[in-house]
Amino acid sequence: MPEIKLGIDEAGKGPVIGPMCVAGVCATAEQEKKLKNLGVADSKKLSPKKREQLAVSIKKYAASWYVYEVEPKQIDDLRKIMTMNEIMVLCFSKVMEKLSAAEDQMFNIVILDAADVSEERFARRVHDEYGKKFKDRADKIEYISKHKADAISPVVSAASILAKTRRDELIEEIKKKEKADFGSGYPSDPKTKLFLENYAKEHGDFPDYVRKSWKTAENLL
């Protein structure tokens, strides 16, 4: 069986506004080489325009790809019963499940951008979660979980770019709908804080695109 890698990464774990996007990119060794030659890198180190250009090429050259969009309300509801790290395990597993259903040639190596202080524990938890639906497949896959994997592995870099590009698109849609520039959506962003303060004063609550379980939002209400 040929070696097929699946790289998974997220964008938008920390913001108080907007969804989180978790992307997966599958590639053979030859396709991964093409991705590397394109100049894929950690999405945070690329300009928005460069990310958009690369996203088009990634979708063209990858064996398959998928972006899982997690709405703020989903995150709020899940946080009532699990930690954010456990939510990440669930979401990474969802991407694996989706690409398992789409792939004729199964990926046999999964490279994860670890969302846990313990790389090994994150890999084990993703294996176990994925194994609930695909037990036989889960045990045949090699799991590589690394911090900053998006700076090391081309398939994870590609996934990082797709996740970030899609989240940026969704944030722009919210801004157009609201006719407001609330910045990045991160709690540390002054534009985001000011927008939330004004919204809370005017409406006494927050819309669905705000993560109400975040301390930033809770404190304002």
Over residues 1-46, the pLDDT tens digits come to: 678 999 999 999 999 999 999 999 999 999 999 999 988 877 788 8
Mean pLDDT computed over 66-71: 98
pLDDT at 4: 93
Mean pLDDT computed over 38-56: 88
Residues in the chain: 221
Q: In the chain, where does the domain assigned CATH 1.10.10.460 lie?
A: 180-220
pLDDT at 109: 97
pLDDT digit string (tens) for 71-127? 999 999 999 999 999 999 999 999 999 998 765 557 999 999 999 999 999 999 999
Proportion of the chain above pLDDT 70, given as a percent: 98
pLDDT at 46: 85
Q: At residue 197, does pLDDT exceed 70?
A: yes
Instruction: Round to whole Å and give the CA distance between 97 and 162.
Output: 18
Mean pLDDT computed over 203-218: 95
SS3 content of the chain, % helix, strand, coil (to 5): 55, 15, 30
The single-letter code of the amino acid at 164 is K
- Please tell me the pTM assigned to this model: 0.94
pLDDT at 34: 94
pLDDT at 76: 97
Q: In the chain, where does the domain assigned CATH 3.30.420.10 lie?
A: 4-173
CATH class of 180-220: mainly alpha
The single-letter code of the amino acid at 30 is E
SS3 3: coil
pLDDT at 106: 78
pLDDT at 221: 83
Q: Which fold has domain 4-173?
A: Nucleotidyltransferase; domain 5 (3.30.420)
pLDDT at 56: 96
